Amino acid sequence: MLKRKIIWSIITLFSIIIAFMSLRYAMFLFSGYPEINPVADAASKGFMSHFAELFHQHKVLFLLHIIGGVIALLVGPFQLSRKLRTHYKRVHRIVGYIYIPSVLAGGIGGISVGFYAFGEVTQAEFIALGSIWIMTLAVAVYAIIKRDFKLHEKWMFANFSLTFAAVTLRLELFPLMLEYDIVTAYQIVSWLCWVPNLILGLLYKGHTAKLMFALTE
């Protein structure tokens, strides 16, 4: 029990920290993207120039992705709380009503931005992550409509493992940048930040086989 609380506390803490850190990107929509460091290498300049241009041209899509992701990160950990699910079911339901549209907004924004991302590897990542993020949410919502609470819990857990990719991306990116240029590091972390998360989520809850049952019942 204590171990579970410690893990939940760490997940919640990192989610809140990264959520507020991510808000600075939303602020750039109004203040303008910061100037590129003049001493940066050519690869970094090219990457950041593309990102700044993309950010300027698709502000609405970025805002959708950022705000949706931030809200999902802030409320998502509380949906994992067994105490909340057991003793405060109405609160759990209300938080769910906030979490669901947040993931939809973040996923749609991420998929849309993905078509313009830097390089084919990163494009594929954005589109894949956004699509699977929404798909796992859809299965979880379908399960709760069918009153299958166990299946709902399992797929919401898998879904939040993808939401948490915002945290693992930042934790993994900086060490990778010590070894690779920013373009290579970002292409690696764009997959590394969420594929292991999803695998761990699926293995932990052991519900891969139930997906077809949920869809065909």
Residue-number span of the structural domain to which 87 is assigned: 2-216
pLDDT for res 210: 46
Q: Give 147's DSSP letter.
A: T
Q: What are phi and psi of 132, to 5 degrees?
A: -70, -35
State the total domains in the chain.
1
The mean pLDDT of the chain is 81
Q: Which residues neighbour 31 within 8 Å (Cβ) at sequence distance 6 or greater? A: none
pLDDT for res 36: 45
Q: Which tokens go with 131?
A: 């699509």
Give the type of residue at 117: A
Would you write out the chain's pLDDT as a tens digit for each of its 217 residues? 557 788 888 999 999 999 998 887 766 665 555 554 444 455 555 556 666 666 777 778 888 888 999 999 999 998 888 788 788 888 989 999 999 999 999 999 999 888 877 778 888 888 999 999 999 999 999 999 999 988 898 899 999 999 999 999 999 988 998 888 888 888 899 899 999 999 888 877 654 444 433 433 4
DSSP string spanning 37-80?
PTTS-HHHHHHHHHHHHHHHHTHHHHHHHHHHHHHHHHHHHHHT
Summarised one tens digit per residue, pLDDT across range 43-64 is: 555 556 666 666 777 778 888 8
CA distance 51 to 181: 15
Hey, is 119 helix, strand or coil? coil
